[in-house]
Amino acid sequence: GAVVSQHPSWVICKSGTSVKIECRSLDFQATTMFWYRQFPKQSLMLMATSNEGSKATYEQGVEKDKFLINHASLTLSTLTVTSAHPEDSSFYICSAREPAREYEQYFGPGTRLTVT
């Protein structure tokens, strides 16, 4: 149980375009989902926390107008990178938490974004 999927697993886009990444909890309802970014040889950096039905909470330094997060249902959250630039190229990972197990996060497989 507790499987989280992400789609796509990798994407290449041109500078100035927008990219949407989906995060789904497959066998549980995730009231909270987290979006992380990881640059090569660095640790995970939390970008935002999203709760179903409410606006995401962004970490300091993360532009909410550039990284749009929508958590419209208990099993789906999306991250849209708007007007992507080469410096947005990174590994984006989502995780999900179920209500009964507040202490544990289940990670998706990640999405590798390359902006050319």
Partner 1 sequence: GQNIDQPTEMTATEGAIVQINCTYQTSGFNGLFWYQQHAGEAPTFLSYNVLDGLEEKGRFSSFLSRSKGYSYLLLKELQMKDSASYLCAVADSNYQLIWGAGTKLIIKP
Q: Are 92 and 111 in contact (CB under 8 A)?
A: yes
* 87: CB partners within 8 A, 6+ apart: 115
Q: How far is the CB of 28 from partner 1 (least distance, A)?
A: 15
For partner 1, the closer of residues 3 and 72 by Cβ is: 3
For partner 1, the closer of residues 19 and 94 by Cβ is: 94
Q: In Å, how far are 1, 11, 32, 38, 49 from 57, measured between CA atoms?
A: 27, 25, 11, 18, 5
For partner 1, the closer of residues 67 and 108 by Cβ is: 108
**Interface with partner 1 by CB under 8 A: which residues?**
34, 42-46, 49, 91, 93, 97, 102-110, 112
